[in-house]
A and B are shown apart, each in its own frame.
Chain A
């Protein structure tokens, strides 16, 4: 799914219909140009295809769709069933690629072959087939790739703008608002900036190993982390680009002067309120805890689906004593936490929302379905506004939980 935002590529899910249907245009990954990624293509395998094999249908589907939409590349996602019936997806991709003259890349994303993490790795492997196939001529020595931002609600545009103001060329955004030709020349960048470490770390590590491109882990969420990301990047280019540190400081202070007065207003209203955080990646959880602190709120529970042991140790250090830390939770566990702790706000993915709402707890979506940009300085202001709009809503008073709280 992390490849989907590449807007001028064809994304074909090879499998029964369901696998593609549930993911049709459910993410707010925006494109400044082509919109091909928002269409959902499936080989819609039927019983006869499962018996006889789906290779012919796949080849036909690919050829027809390429003729119809003229994509710059095609990605073919293998689903569980394809892994079982043994279609040679690689061979079909090779044949179609030779026939149509564009890269046709298999993504080994069979569901039973692992977790989301393995799917991310498969996506990175597919990207590695593209990177290095384009010309790097004319790329500035002061240049970066933005990895692991999916341009939800236009976030990558905000970040890109900061770097450009600092005098840094952005070669490729992977994958938010991504373009095949940019990705092909991504090896020409001097530095990779990796957000969403879960999904794109493999790509960054491979590019470091094979092409000698260093990478930095960054987060664009929250004032502290956003500023840190810009300063780190400026520091990296300090030798090559005189004055970059000064330019960065000026940019940060200008952005802050715009948002801080309003943030302060929200903070006054939110001081002392309690939040719980449960998101996909641990790195995002760190940023959220810091950002909530910036708003004067306490995080009483924090967890992630894909965090590693060292991530949790870091979380433990970051959080206050008494904060509950959870790993890969389930609906029952989350609901019992929400009931035990007096929580004003729960930040999670769309699947957690109904649990919070059912218990009369405020909720903010910090997952791929968000519609307002939350990255960058502007994003922090949006975040503060959303948190305030949620926590301050009068509807909670009418819920059984709110009524109970008012009595106590």
Chain B
């Protein structure tokens, strides 16, 4: 049933809170440790949630508000927490994200940090970002943190040849892929954040308090001297982002690109890189594109006209919509828990011929999504693990992409971007549909 009056409660949320995004982004800076200024529970649950997806240690420090802290302010907790953390972890940088509590009692964390002098001998930098859970989603917390890092660390100076890349909340595999592509174009790129190694690392002999990898703080500082910033994500705002800040402060040109999901969005991405690098698309990638389109032709009959419910972070939803539309799948519902106000426009810009058949919904929860999906006769769902309850209820396959993947392994290794990512997505979609047909077939054909 579809509720006539919108419900006051959110049922099975399709979003997470801003401090989670902050912690994730901070994991992508070398030598950094995320520190939540707030209640113990915030850190515990966010740790657990990230660990279940990445299957890597994720340490998050917390000041741990008590009743007294809430009344008298958290300054002492913050200071002693930072000193403890510095002593145990020797971080190069501590990223402090404020949760609901300090924000509501009106604590001026910026001021507290300004007056803070570390006890130990080892110096560390602090970066502060305001991420109360009642404002925005995890994606907003992620972007706010990237912006805070840039605003508080980047410096100006003579322009160097490198470029800045703000990839958004993509997977470690996506980050590795992007780095490879930039290297293949001969472009020196600073990705922020870069958790490709910190959240997808090898077995260790010696435990590392802070996992190796991440954007070096030195590179972060040099972001003010880059020749251009690439900001990835069609639903990114045109104000208040890291790239906007670098543009206004240091004059670093900003260029906004969609997530390169599928052939067409990847073509736009590769064209932009080609222009920046002043050289054609490297043969390796041109061949990947060739193989991808070849496979689209081989398998077009299996996917054409099928109907999909797409959900997740807004930029992922836009990218997936572009991909599904170009292979002839009709996205019937494109939904996100996010509320950027820009999802519909972005989806429509990439949906091509499929545009008329799409319902776009921001601020969705899974219960409402399930109720709506029932009337839209989809063939499959594509999005995170959290769509499982809807998939099970409607007896539909769920193709797992994005974040979080809690009921399968390998969420950190899912490649969504570029021709290579599209190849994996396409094979997954096609084979899921074939498998379903095979399972339901009374004959049981052994070839397709």
Q: Which residues of A are at the interface with B, using a C-beta cutoff of 8 A?
A: 12, 15-26, 38-47, 49-50, 57, 60-61, 64-65, 68, 79-81, 83-85, 111-115, 330-332, 335-336, 338-339, 350-351, 353-355, 357-360, 399-401, 404
Contact = CB atoms under 8 A, between A and B. Distances in A.
B10 A44 contact: yes
A177 B70 CA distance: 36
A172 B287 CA distance: 66
A18 B19 contact: yes
Q: What's the interface size class on B, roughly? A: 35 or more
Contacts of B5: 64
Given A43-B9, A44-B13, A358-B204, A84 B104 contact: yes
Nearest to B51: A354
A61 B365 CA distance: 15
Contacts of B11: 39-41, 65
30 contacts: A17-B13, A17-B134, A18-B17, A18-B42, A18-B45, A19-B41, A19-B45, A39-B367, A40-B13, A41-B11, A43-B10, A50-B100, A57-B8, A65-B7, A65-B9, A65-B11, A79-B100, A80-B39, A80-B65, A81-B104, A114-B67, A331-B57, A335-B207, A350-B48, A354-B57, A355-B57, A355-B207, A357-B55, A359-B207, A360-B203
Interface in B14-46: 15-20, 38-42, 44-46
B389 interface: yes
B59 interface: yes
B132 interface: yes
B132 A21 contact: no
B65 A21 contact: no
Contacts of B41: 19, 80, 111
A111 B52 CA distance: 22
Contacts, number: 175
A171 B137 CA distance: 44
Given A85-B104, A112-B65, A400-B203, A39 B12 contact: yes
A369 to B, nearest CB: 9
Contacts of B304: none
Contacts of A15: 100, 133
Interface in B125-163: 132-135, 137
Nearest to B45: A22
B80 interface: no
A47 B134 contact: yes
Contact of A353 (B51, B88, B89, B101): B51
Given A25-B389, A39-B367, A353-B51, A81 B46 contact: no
A212 to B, nearest CB: 34
Given A112-B65, A112-B66, A17 B57 contact: no
B56 interface: yes
Contacts of A49: 134
B57 A113 contact: no
Contact of A17 (B17, B69, B204, B367): B17
B207 A21 contact: no
B209 interface: yes
B270 to A, nearest CB: 36
Given A18-B46, A80-B41, 6 more contacts: A16-B132, A17-B13, A111-B41, A113-B66, A339-B207, A358-B207
A187 B105 CA distance: 42
A393 to B, nearest CB: 14
B205 interface: yes
Given A18-B42, A64-B8, A112-B39, A42 B13 contact: yes
A44 B20 CA distance: 16
B373 to A, nearest CB: 16
Given A47-B134, A84-B70, A22 B9 contact: no
B60 to A, nearest CB: 10
Contacts of B207: 335-336, 338-339, 355, 358-359
Given A17-B16, A80-B39, A112-B65, A401 B203 contact: yes
Contacts of A60: 8
Contacts of A39: 11-12, 367
